[in-house]
Structure 1
Amino acid sequence: MSSRRRFYARPLLATVASIAVLTGVAATAPAATPTSAGQASPAATLDDTYYQDALGKTGTALKSSLHSIISEQTTLSYSQVWDALKATDEDPANSSNVILLYTGRSQAKSENGGDTGDWNREHVWAKSHGDFGTATGPGTDIHHLRPEDVQVNSVRGNKDFDNGGSAVSGAPGNFSDGDSFEPRDAVKGDVARMILYMAVRYEGDDAFADLEPNDSVSNGSAPNIGRLSVLKQWSQEDPPDSFEQNRNEVIFDRFQHNRNPFIDHPEWVEAIW
């Protein structure tokens, strides 16, 4: 890498303000959701049911348990991904639009395709890293597929993730160089948790490669993506926000019926890696 930029955690209100600029709504601190006396919180309910077999574990035991849990899913075809992304990434301020991952731009759902100015389907775990292409499974898993501007998607290509590089045209706050891509601050944690989800979900036992993160940025077509140390930092400094949490719920309720455990339990990143 030719240069490095340090990423600092931002206060919650700053994060809310940035979302407000993105969506065009007034910035207000998120209100706490009250829980009736004797009523379990949603997180507690998930722990009592969905994540029951993973609780109390760390390291490889936790990773193995989570793999078994999240492997129970409905798979989509690559063509079905279009409509799924229109739901999972819907702009909360404009139901006719989606929010693009790297640019942060709100764009009409109908403007999807392959032409300049369109949005297309970005594989956050680059599909050449493990050579799974668009095959049903890792190639269509919407936990790591996101809407993105065609040209910005091309700039990212199949690069690993790291800090540093030159500013990406048309995508403020994103940087890229010859071997890596740095997303804008507001989605750094999102990117990290998508990568780590893929590493737990695809362990080489379902006819696809065993996907694993590492600390390299020269992985080529190997089934690895880096830089793990930076991804862990991003996950810690950019915790899940309401958009990411809602996306997890929509995928679980309407499409794949599995969850990204690192959105529900961000502390499991450190517990495994």
Structure 2
Amino acid sequence: MSAHRPSHRRRRGATVILAATAVAVPSAAVATQQAPSPTGTARQTAGPLDDTYYQDALGKSGADLKAALHTIVSEQTKLSYDEVWDALKTTDEDPADPSSVVLLYTGRSQSKSDNGGGADQWNREHVWAKSHGDFGTSTGPGTDIHHLRPTDVSVNSTRGSKDFDEGGGEVGEAPGNYTDEDSFEPRDAVKGDVARMILYMAVRYDGDDGFADLEPNDQVGNGSAPAIGRISVLKQWNTEDPPDAQEQKRNEAIFGIQKNRNPFIDHPEWVDSIW
């Protein structure tokens, strides 16, 4: 079972390649901001997509909200696995170097053309591990770019199909990431990104399209079950690492390619409403 590290080691890194302030985001990309209520809890605030894209979800909570979002995000353009290569070169482009992409776990900027199977090349990481539900690289969950990210080939292998949790030893090729025999902890700067990608998948793939019903749970070692944990940790990461400008920009780029959005980037407060 994953060993937990003291909370003081979970601070957001100060030397992340993508600083939120460095990226300009189209105004339509930002559907909401979280604001404190008088009691200190997050409240929903209106955004420019709420009277269009999200109109059928507003005012709902819990299972009703999840069902409404499922219907909304299921309207999408589906890619082939080969098409994912070019899509990621757009969605994960380094804003400081248009010829490169930024790798999820290492934060390294790497040439778009340096992709493949070599140890130090980049490849396509399924953040919701494709063995969890046995969907492989089939068009659908296997090619949904909301959870596909460029990663260092060796680091991708280290993560493998492990669930997400806190603890373990530091990954040598990716400082700030930790792993043990049954879990993987990403670097602080992308913890929330990982959580929101996982929860998007749980909303989008609900068992009604020929694929397994994907659901988070609060355990690790899920194997081939259509589940990934730990939901309590993912919720914590969603709160501690809210969407930044680069994550919002990526959501907008995917909307342009795949024609659907990750609602938890636009409305991170919906995570606690559903789970």
Task: Give the TM-score, by structure 2 length.
Answer: 0.89
Aligned to 1:4: 4
Is residue 2–residue 182 contact of structure 2 (8 Å, CA) maintained in 1? no
For the pair 1:175 / 2:172, whether they are aligned, the reply is: no
- Give the aligned length: 259
One-letter amino acid matched to 2:231: L
Uncovered stretches (5+) of structure 1, i.e. residues with no partner:
36-40
Q: What do the CA deviations read for 1:105-140 (whole angstroms, capped 9, x no partner)? A: 000000000011100000000000000000000000
Shift of residue 3 of structure 1?
2.3
* Equivalent of residue 18 in structure 1, options 12, 15, 22: 15
Instruction: Find the aligned partners of 1:47 and 1:152 in 2 and give their Cα distance.
Output: 38
Shift of residue 51 of structure 1?
0.2
Q: What do the CA deviations read for 1:206-252 (whole angstroms, capped 9, x no partner)? A: 00000000001011000000000000000000000111000000000
Instruction: Go from structure 1 to structure 2 and tell me whether the alpha carbon gap of 1:88 and 1:47 turns closer, same or farther (over 3 Å shift).
Output: same
Instruction: Find the aligned partners of 1:52 and 1:237 in 2 and give their Cα distance.
Output: 27
Aligned to 1:233: 236
Uncovered stretches (5+) of structure 2, i.e. residues with no partner:
33-46
Instruction: Go from structure 1 to structure 2 and tell me whether the alpha carbon gap of 1:156 and 1:55 turns closer, same or farther (over 3 Å shift).
Output: same
For the pair 1:75 / 2:72, whether they are aligned, the reply is: no
User: Does the residue aligned with 1:233 lie in a helix, a strand or coil?
Assistant: helix
Q: What do the CA deviations read for 1:46-103 (whole angstroms, capped 9, x no partner)? A: 0000000000110000000000000000000000000000000000100011000001
Aligned to 2:249: 246
Aligned to 1:38: none
* Equivalent of residue 218 in structure 1, options 215, 221, 228: 221
Instruction: Find the aligned partners of 2:232 and 2:111 in 1 and give their Cα distance.
Output: 36
Is residue 2–residue 165 contact of structure 2 (8 Å, CA) maintained in 1? no
Instruction: Find the aligned partners of 2:20 and 2:50 in 1 and give their Cα distance.
Output: 30
182-191 vs 42-51, which moves further: 42-51
One-letter amino acid matched to 1:52: Q
Instruction: Go from structure 1 to structure 2 and tell me whether the alpha carbon gap of 1:48 and 1:105 turns closer, same or farther (over 3 Å shift).
Output: same
Mapping for residues 39-188 of structure 1, pairs under 5 Å:
43=32, 44-188=47-191
Instruction: Go from structure 1 to structure 2 and tell me whether the alpha carbon gap of 1:3 and 1:203 turns closer, same or farther (over 3 Å shift).
Output: same
Aligned to 1:267: 269
- Kindly report the root-mean-square deviation, in angstroms, between the aligned alpha carbons of the 2 structures: 2.3
Instruction: Find the aligned partners of 1:6 and 1:127 in 2 and give their Cα distance.
Output: 31
One-letter amino acid matched to 2:15: S
One-letter amino acid matched to 1:225: I
Instruction: Go from structure 1 to structure 2 and tell me whether the alpha carbon gap of 1:99 and 1:118 turns closer, same or farther (over 3 Å shift).
Output: same
Q: What do the CA deviations read for 1:127-158 (whole angstroms, capped 9, x no partner)? A: 00000000000000000000000000000000
Instruction: Find the aligned partners of 1:178 and 1:125 in 2 and give their Cα distance.
Output: 18
Instruction: Go from structure 1 to structure 2 and tell me whether the alpha carbon gap of 1:30 and 1:63 turns closer, same or farther (over 3 Å shift).
Output: same
Q: Which has the higher contact order (CA 8 A, sep 6+)?
A: 2
Task: Give the TM-score, by structure 1 length.
Answer: 0.90
Instruction: Find the aligned partners of 1:102 and 1:7 in 2 and give their Cα distance.
Output: 20
One-letter amino acid matched to 1:139: G
Is residue 215–residue 228 contact of structure 2 (8 Å, CA) maintained in 1? yes
